[in-house]
Amino acid sequence: MKPNLAEPILLMGSDMVWIDAGASGPAVEDEPLTISQMAEKFGVTPRTLRFYESKGLLAPARQGRSRIYRRDDQHHLALILKGRKLGFTISEISQMIASEHGRASPQALKMTREKCREQIELLERQVRETTEALVELRRLHTTLSRP
């Protein structure tokens, strides 16, 4: 069920990048899940699921007042968590999902290649700065290591 990359590239002029959830997350099941089951399965808290819903990123059905998460919701959450791992904000993920409105249920995060490049530069800067900090901390730790 991976997105068909060939066709959209032709349609969109190859200026878009699709990110699917890959096999990084847990296997999606047909069994509908309660909020606590869903949370445990994906390694988040129930609060996180309610928060994503309040931001319009999830829209699980209800059984009475309780939320129930089906296949599509699970795919959807996998996509959101993928976006978070790649360092995008909630509102960026929201836009990347929204630009997939051509489909019934989004199967990928869609972004411009320009946006992708910007994100790469952002993360590269983070790695540089954190690595510099590490160099200094390691130096402090080891040079003062022997009494």
Partner DNA sequence: TTGCTCCTCACGTCACGTGAGGTGGC
For residue 36, state whether it binds DNA (rule: CB under 7 A). Answer: yes
For residue 129, state whether it binds a second copy (rule: CB under 8 A). Answer: yes
- Contact range with DNA by CB under 7 A, out of 23-31, 71-79, 82-90, 104-112: 82-90
For residue 89, state whether it binds a second copy (rule: CB under 8 A). Answer: no
| DSSP characters over 3-45 | ---HHHHHHHTT-EEEE--TTSSPPP-SS-B-HHHHHHHHT--
- Chain-centroid distance, C-alpha 119: 14
With 0-12 / 13-18 / 19 or more C-beta atoms within 10 angstroms meaning exposed / middle / buried, residue 2 is: exposed
Determine which residue in the list 13, 64, 102, 147 makes contact with DNA, applying CB under 7 A: 64
Look up residue 105 and give its DSSP letter. S
For residue 13, state whether it binds a second copy (rule: CB under 8 A). Answer: yes
12 or 98: whose CB is closer to a second copy?
Answer: 12
- Contact range with a second copy by CB under 8 A, out of 28-36, 41-49, 94-102, 130-138: 130-138
Determine which residue in the list 8, 19, 34, 41 makes contact with DNA, applying CB under 7 A: 34
CB of 122 to a second copy, least distance (A): 10
For residue 11, state whether it binds a second copy (rule: CB under 8 A). Answer: no
**Residue tagged 């089906």 (tokens):** 70
* Cα angle value 41/120/3 (rounded, 5°): 50
